[in-house]
Chains A and B, each alone.
Chain A
Amino acid sequence: MGVLWFWLVGCMIVAYVVLDGFDLGTGILHLYVAQNEGERRMVVQSIGPVWDGNEVWLLAGGGTLYFAFPWLYASAFSGFYLPLMIVLWLLMVRGITLELRNHIELGVWRALLDGLFGLSSTLLAIFLGAALANVIRGVPLQADGYFFLPLWTNWQPGVHPGVLDWYTVLGGLLACAALAMHGALWLSVKTTGAVESRVIRIVPVLWGSVAVLTLVSLPATMRVQPATLVNYNHYPITYIIPLGVALCLSGALIFHRKRQALRAFGCSSGYLALMLVGACWGLFPTLLPATTGADRSIRLEDAISSPYTLHVGLLWWIFGIGLAALYFSISYWMFRGKVRSESMHG
């Protein structure tokens, strides 16, 4: 049961990154790909009806983590206190600026909002990547199962690292590049005209940086957290995951060259999903490794909730996520295809 919930929470994180990923990526790129009001409007409309729903995966995933692994939730959230607060503020700035631009006509104000929207999207992508890298690297768990991380120390992963060190910064940059590419491929599905042609030009550049950063991140991960290979070596068949990563990444560029935008977007979704699955598999069954000694790591069997909780949880979870999938299908189907020009609220 615990193993199942590990992967269910993993799936919700994947859903969050793949879905909110493209609207974060859109935010990262929008100042460049859309250069006048009409173009900006098109770009914002491509995510307008869906971004809020995408962000719900973060809340639903967080809630699921909370009840399935309360100790992990408690320890990680209090330990990453300051970076999480920054993430919260960024999420607020991003949500507000995105919605506000529909309501404010004045040029200068709109430019300010657009700038803040781009900046907060970029920083969020970096922070999310760095957060994941922190979980892979491990944190200085104390004997009572808690920790508190400073934002940075000497930029080296070690027994007492900071939230930011060279490894987590690398993770942040990789996330930023990958989500920008993901967003670009989304925009090439949704947009037309000058925006589309700028997007098409920028994809290969982004793809190149994603490829390089991915290649660098693999040996870096092995060096920082050698334990990630244990599961792979124990079950060599699972090397199919990194293989899939490589295939999806290549596929994204190949389909993009063929102008098959939807398939290219699918490949980049696959890339993001498999990168996360690969990381989860590397950690399993540890949930949060300790830099202060493996015996302090938070492991699945220590942190899992009671069987009854998980059992009931599974019943409503399947039902609820089934419904959510239905709503998402309806919503994405209604807004399928290229963005049509129409004003909000009819």
Chain B
Amino acid sequence: METGCRSGLVVASRGGGDEESNMNAEVMHRIQFAFTVTFHYLFPQLTMGLALLIVVLKTVALRTGDEHWNQAARFWARIFGINFVFGVVTGIPMEFEFGTNWAQFSRMTGGVIGQPLAMEGTFSFFLESAFLGLFLYGEKRLSRVWHWLSAVLVFLGSWLSGYFIIVTDAWMQHPVAYQINGRGQFEITSFVGLLTNPWAILQYMHNMCGAVITGAFVMAATGAFYLLEDRWHGFARIYLRVGIVAGVLASIAIIFPTGDLHGKYLARHQPASIAAMEGLFHTEKGAGLVLMGQPDENTGQIDNPIVVNSVLSFLIYGTTKAEVTGLDAFPRDQWPTTLPLLFYAYHIMAGLGTYFAAVMMLAAFLLWRDKLWTSRWMLWALLLSFPLPYIANTAGWMTAEIGRQPWLVYGLMRTGLGFSATVSASNTLFTLLGFMGMYALLAILFVVLIYREISNGPTPVSTTQNALAH
């Protein structure tokens, strides 16, 4: 059945234009989707990470009755609110773009991946938006327990939303529970199979650790900033404590077990991707791990490599002698496109992941020995590190999505067959530029707003009560 479909899709004719303009259109559609989704995901990673940390703050407040923790949560709720809106407005285009830019892909796969996308709207966005309204605007109208509960439901909504998106992506990475009907369209054969795709579960755990790391670093950096500025000591310590504890747990879990398991699964099901990520051009027994280097697609070599012998074989198969398949085992037209980019993205992700675990463990040690508040160098390190999780999360997604190339649906539908043939390259370029301009403006606004919130700081308890009385 798979072979039948493959030829069916390859034969399917694409209207309009010669080979070259189709190529350009494909590149434009890819860049627009990549750009808009990358910019979008800067916001949800903080939304999901902070949602969890706000639940932690609200839970402590509820259990201890300490108003400081509520106040601490209120400050993050303001940041969360701003961040959430930016996530919403940059997220709406994503669903549209499946249809506008990837029409043929949508027509062929809508019966499968339309399902989790529709479920995301129905199960998570309604939940999230309704209770976020209550959480942000309704504290005075709600009891303490209900306000806590609305924070929990916002958290649940945002984490569910993440799962549905990952189910969608996981099906493209590792199609399961499908068949192909007479019209060449994919349809699902098992709803449960689609939702419990092992790829989705592994990717979700790995990805959510990444989101918590972003939240944890942002919170810890804000605490460090206040201590370095000698302001808001009480709140700063709360933020550092919560940020560092969450940061240690997540930055360990993102490497082991989630990263490790995900990597092994990837090696089994997308051997060409892992070979390209690791820069392994030739099949080797006892393959070494390239820590750094520049892959050259044309010569099939890594320029200026730093290699640790046999480690790659061990990481994938648990033994230093195992044979790892290199890119030479695959036909050239099945190599991931833009190979060096994939290699760099993967190495940046892995390198930063190691750094996060190191810096968070060190900070946790100082926190435990009660030396953190006076270790200015550590506070500086935490403050300056907050952009890095954004880079690591972005690089991680680039690894996943570039690694999937040249396929839209791995092994079944090539990327070149999925875009909207009626939308020309220059129309897409026009809207891409529009998005770039719009997002540049949004980025500036976001930075200004967050900067203002951070410099205003968490309002002390008494002032807020005055504000409430008005």
For B90, give the chain A residue with the smallest CB separation. A92
- Residues of chain B touching chain A, judged by Cβ–Cβ distance below 8 Å, are 13, 15, 74, 77-78, 81-82, 85-86, 88-90, 92-93, 95-96, 98-101, 103-115, 117-123, 125-127, 129-134, 136-142, 181, 185, 187-189, 191, 420-423, 427, 431, 434, 438, 442, 445, 449, 452-453, 464, 467-468, 470
In Å, the complex CA distance between A63 and B117 comes to 6
What are the nearest 9 A-B pairs in CB distance? A70-B110, A77-B99, A67-B114, A63-B118, A60-B121, A49-B133, A320-B122, A346-B139, A327-B130
Q: A62 with B95: in contact, given A92-B89, A305-B187, A312-B191 (CB under 8 Å)?
A: yes
Known: A75-B107, A81-B423, A144-B13. 18 other contacts (CB 8 A): A53-B129, A55-B92, A60-B121, A62-B121, A63-B114, A64-B118, A67-B111, A73-B98, A73-B110, A74-B99, A74-B103, A88-B96, A308-B189, A323-B122, A323-B126, A324-B122, A331-B130, A345-B78
Q: Which residues of B contact A56 (CB under 8 A)?
A: 121, 125-126, 129
Q: Which residues of B contact A316 (CB under 8 A)?
A: 119, 122-123
Q: A100 with B95: in contact, given A52-B133, A53-B126, A77-B100 (CB under 8 Å)?
A: no
A185 to chain B, nearest CB (A): 21
- A142 at the binding interface (Cβ < 8 Å): yes
Q: Which residues of A contact B125 (CB under 8 A)?
A: 56, 59-60
Q: A77 with B126: in contact, given A70-B185, A327-B131, A335-B138 (CB under 8 Å)?
A: no
In Å, the complex CA distance between A100 and B449 comes to 8
- A146 at the binding interface (Cβ < 8 Å): yes
For B147, give the chain A residue with the smallest CB separation. A346
Among the listed B15, B92, B185, B421, which residue makes an inter-chain contact with A91, where contact means beta carbons less than 8 Å apart?
B92
For A91, give the chain B residue with the smallest CB separation. B92
- A48 at the binding interface (Cβ < 8 Å): yes
- A103 at the binding interface (Cβ < 8 Å): yes
Q: Which residues of A contact B113 (CB under 8 A)?
A: 67
In Å, the complex CA distance between A213 and B130 comes to 35
In Å, the complex CA distance between A112 and B189 comes to 53
* CB–CB B82/A85 < 8 A: no
* CB–CB A63/B122 < 8 A: yes
B103 to chain A, nearest CB (A): 4
Q: Which residues of A contact B191 (CB under 8 A)?
A: 312
For B189, give the chain A residue with the smallest CB separation. A308
In Å, the complex CA distance between A328 and B137 comes to 15
Q: Which residues of B contact A74 (CB under 8 A)?
A: 99, 103-107, 110, 420
Q: Which residues of B contact A146 (CB under 8 A)?
A: 15, 103, 420-422
B122 to chain A, nearest CB (A): 4
* CB–CB A323/B123 < 8 A: yes
In Å, the complex CA distance between A99 and B100 comes to 27
* CB–CB B434/A85 < 8 A: yes
- A309 at the binding interface (Cβ < 8 Å): yes
Pick 19 A–B contacts, CB within 8 A, sort by A: A49-B137, A53-B133, A55-B92, A56-B129, A66-B114, A67-B117, A74-B110, A76-B99, A77-B96, A77-B99, A78-B99, A81-B422, A84-B96, A100-B445, A317-B118, A317-B122, A323-B122, A335-B138, A345-B77
Q: A91 with B140: in contact, given A62-B96, A324-B122 (CB under 8 Å)?
A: no
* CB–CB A70/B449 < 8 A: no
For B70, give the chain A residue with the smallest CB separation. A346
In Å, the complex CA distance between A85 and B429 comes to 12
* CB–CB B130/A63 < 8 A: no
Q: Which residues of A contact B470 (CB under 8 A)?
A: 341, 343
Q: Which residues of A contact B98 (CB under 8 A)?
A: 66, 73, 77
B-contact bits for A74-108, CB 8 A (1 contact / 0 none): 11111111101100110110011001100100000
- A255 at the binding interface (Cβ < 8 Å): no
For B107, give the chain A residue with the smallest CB separation. A74
Q: Which residues of A contact B99 (CB under 8 A)?
A: 66, 73-74, 76-78
In Å, the complex CA distance between A52 and B85 comes to 9
* CB–CB A52/B129 < 8 A: yes
- A197 at the binding interface (Cβ < 8 Å): no
* CB–CB B89/A96 < 8 A: yes
B273 to chain A, nearest CB (A): 27
* CB–CB B114/A70 < 8 A: yes
Q: How many residues of A are counted as interface, with CB atoms below 8 angstroms from the partner's CB atoms? A: 71
In Å, the complex CA distance between A330 and B126 comes to 12
* CB–CB B74/A66 < 8 A: no
Among the listed B126, B427, B452, which residue makes an inter-chain contact with A60, where contact means beta carbons less than 8 Å apart?
B126
In Å, the complex CA distance between A58 and B121 comes to 9
In Å, the complex CA distance between A327 and B133 comes to 11
B185 to chain A, nearest CB (A): 7
Q: Which residues of B contact A147 (CB under 8 A)?
A: 422
For B137, give the chain A residue with the smallest CB separation. A49
Q: Which residues of B contact A103 (CB under 8 A)?
A: 82, 449, 452-453
B-facing residues in A276-333 (Cβ within 8 Å):
305-306, 308-309, 312-313, 316-317, 320-321, 323-324, 327-328, 330-331
Q: Which residues of B contact A312 (CB under 8 A)?
A: 115, 188, 191
* CB–CB A321/B122 < 8 A: yes
In Å, the complex CA distance between A71 and B127 comes to 29
Interface centre among B99, B181, B423, B431 (most CB of A within 10 A): B99
- A148 at the binding interface (Cβ < 8 Å): yes
* CB–CB B138/A49 < 8 A: yes
Interface centre among A70, A100, A313 (most CB of B within 10 A): A70
- A177 at the binding interface (Cβ < 8 Å): no
In Å, the complex CA distance between A63 and B110 comes to 9
Q: A66 with B78: in contact, given A53-B130, A81-B100, A344-B136 (CB under 8 Å)?
A: no
* CB–CB A99/B85 < 8 A: yes
In Å, the complex CA distance between A253 and B386 comes to 57
For B132, give the chain A residue with the smallest CB separation. A52
Q: Which residues of A contact B434 (CB under 8 A)?
A: 85, 89
* CB–CB B106/A66 < 8 A: yes
For B109, give the chain A residue with the smallest CB separation. A70
* CB–CB B103/A77 < 8 A: yes
Q: Which residues of A contact B185 (CB under 8 A)?
A: 70, 306
Q: Which residues of A contact B136 (CB under 8 A)?
A: 49, 344-345
In Å, the complex CA distance between A128 and B113 comes to 26
- A218 at the binding interface (Cβ < 8 Å): no
For A316, give the chain B residue with the smallest CB separation. B119
Interface centre among A60, A142, A343 (most CB of B within 10 A): A60
A194 to chain B, nearest CB (A): 20
* CB–CB A309/B118 < 8 A: no
* CB–CB B110/A66 < 8 A: yes
Interface centre among B82, B130, B189, B453 (most CB of A within 10 A): B130
* CB–CB A79/B422 < 8 A: yes
Q: A346 with B122: in contact, given A66-B117, A78-B100, A82-B427 (CB under 8 Å)?
A: no
